[in-house]
Amino acid sequence: QVQLRQWGAGLLKPSETLSLTCAVYGGSFSDNYWNWIRQPPGKGLEWIGEVDHSGGANYNSSLKTRVTISVDTSKNQFSLRLTSVTAADTAVYFCARGFKDGSIIQNRRVYYYYYMDVWGKGTTVTVSS
Partner 1 sequence: DIQMTQFPSTLSASVGDRVTITCRASQSISTWLAWFQQKPGQAPKLLIYKASSLQSGVSSRFSGSGSGTEFSLTISSLQPDDFATYYCQQYQSLYSFGQGTNLE
**Residue of 60, 68, 90, 126 that binds partner 1 (CB under 8 A):** 60
Return the number of the residue (66 or 119) whose C-beta is nearest partner 1: 119
The yes or no reply on residue 10 touching partner 1 (CB under 8 A) is no
| Residue 18 binds to partner 1 (criterion: CB under 8 A) | no
Does the footprint of partner 1 cover residue 64 (CB under 8 A)?
no
x-marked contacts with partner 1 along 71-100 as a string, rule CB under 8 A: -----------------------x-x-x--
What distance in Å separates the CA atoms of residue 62 and residue 110, rounded to the nearest whole number? 27
Q: Does 114 bind partner 1 (CB under 8 A)?
A: yes
